[in-house]
Amino acid sequence: MDDDFHYSVYQLFSNAYSTLSRLGKERNLQPIRSCCSGCGFSSWIAIIKYSANLKNSAEIAEFFFVDTTPFVDKYFLEPKDHKYDWRGVLPRERYLSKLLKDLEIALKGSSANWKIVVGHHTIRSIGHHGDTQELINQLLPILEANDVDMYINGHDHCLEHIISTSSQIQFLTSGGGSKAWRGDINKNRKDGTKFYYDGQGFMSVELEQTNAKVVYYDIYGNVLHVVNLSKALRSVYAI
């Protein structure tokens, strides 16, 4: 299985727990077939529900972690020298169908103010790997139909903010941990691109009931880009 994906999932869960634990007391991890690909379950989704520390308060946010690796055709058709452990994933079509169905049910049942989906691979990117067409075709329609606010990913080694031209989704890439400064940018695909940084850095997300703030930093902690979102006004502005 893709080591980058396993590390990404571990890192995202660790960061999510360390960040969310400071925001309130009611933290509930609800796994749906909660296991990485290769562990023998039929699909991999994990959900983190998050509520404010207020009596009868609505959930502020719900995070949906999705296994995106089995969507990518080239891992099956052109593996080259890479070796993947597909136990629990094959037959692939059945695995993906179950994963998408589970995700759709979970999204439809969510009452959270903010719905945030996290996966390793990009949906939209102007970086080295670019768009992942398989996710555009299969995953994106479900996100759009269920009012997902953000899709957070790694994979491309850059920092990036792209807004959807057909929905409210913000595509947020935080993959600037290594292999930086490639200068590998698709200059012909800048539609919706609000920010791109080819160097190393990281991203933070701050959530309130009706407001969200995403900040991109370089490796020294300098602010590079700020995204402010408002559920009430459905507005986005960046500095």
User: What's the pLDDT at 182?
Assistant: 83
pLDDT at 196 over 80: yes
- Choosing from 6, 82, 120, 129, the catalytic residue is 129
Q: Report yes or no: 153 and 172 within 8 Å, Cβ to Cβ.
A: yes
User: What's the pLDDT at 207?
Assistant: 92
Residue 38 lies in a domain: yes
Name which of 215, 139, 138 is nearest 172 in CA terms: 215
Residue 160 lies in a domain: yes
User: What's the pLDDT at 176?
Assistant: 81
Residue 91 lies in a domain: yes
> Is 129 annotated as catalytic?
yes
Host domain of residue 23: 3-203
Convert the pLDDT of each residue in 201-239 to its tens digit: 999 999 988 999 999 999 999 999 999 999 863 344 454
Residue 118 lies in a domain: yes
Convert the pLDDT of each residue in 20-72 to its tens digit: 333 222 223 333 333 333 333 345 677 666 655 444 456 889 999 999 999 99
pLDDT level of residue 85 (50, 70, 90 thresholds): confident
List residues bridging with 204 in a β-sheet.
Answer: 215
Radius of gyration of the chain (CA): 17
Query: Residue 179 maps to which CATH number?
Result: 3.60.21.10
Domain count across the chain: 1
Distances in whole angstroms, Cα of residue 212 to Cα of each of 44, 69, 154, 216:
27, 28, 20, 13
Q: Report yes or no: 55 and 28 within 8 Å, Cβ to Cβ.
A: no
* Range 222-226, long-range pairs (CB < 8 A, 24+ positions): 224/159, 224/195, 224/197, 225/159, 225/161, 225/194, 225/195, 225/197
**1: number of Cβ within 10 Å:** 20
pLDDT at 133 over 50: yes
Q: Mean of the pLDDT values across residues 132-156? A: 97
Residue 220 lies in a domain: no
Convert the pLDDT of each residue in 167-189 to its tens digit: 999 999 998 878 888 888 887 77
